[in-house]
Amino acid sequence: MGDPASPSSANPPAPRPGGLSLEEAAPLWDGFRAGNPVLCPEDTGPLALSVDGTSAYRLVCTRCGTASSWFEMGATGIQVRTATVPAPRNEDE
Ligand SMILES: [Zn+2]
């Protein structure tokens, strides 16, 4: 019944379900662009930037894996990427 000997303080960080909202990512992105270190809101781990193509970005915690949605630069700030990845074509004839 259970395992009373197991430590309870060694839980590895887990990514937050749903990841970072754009509202959270926006100031982090601003800080990142300004050259400031940006930290994960979940566990204060360092955030890294992922780039997809030339215009889509995502912030990912290198410690727990919490990530923002893919976003792109809009006229007034970042916005969730609206362009969907085109599905591969199986039949092109
Ligand atoms: Zn984290």
Domain membership of residue 15 (yes or no) is no
Domain membership of residue 8 (yes or no) is no
Give 88 Cα–ligand 1 centroid separation in angstroms: 33
Element containing residue 30 per DSSP (H, E): helix 22-33
Domain membership of residue 13 (yes or no) is no
Cα separation, 10 vs 41, whole angstroms: 19
The range of the structural domain enclosing residue 60 comes to 22-80
Domain membership of residue 93 (yes or no) is no
Give 19 Cα–ligand 1 centroid separation in angstroms: 10
Residue 82: per-residue pLDDT: 77
Domain membership of residue 10 (yes or no) is no
Give 52 Cα–ligand 1 centroid separation in angstroms: 21
87 or 31, which is more confident: 31
Give 13 Cα–ligand 1 centroid separation in angstroms: 7
Domain membership of residue 9 (yes or no) is no
Residue 87: per-residue pLDDT: 59
**Per-residue model confidence as pLDDT tens digits over 8-28:** 556 768 999 999 999 999 999
Counted domains in the chain: 1
Is 58 within 8 Å of 75 (Cβ atoms)?
Answer: no
**Per-residue model confidence as pLDDT tens digits over 41-53:** 999 999 999 999 9
**Per-residue model confidence as pLDDT tens digits over 54-88:** 899 999 999 999 999 999 998 888 999 876 655 56
Domain membership of residue 17 (yes or no) is no
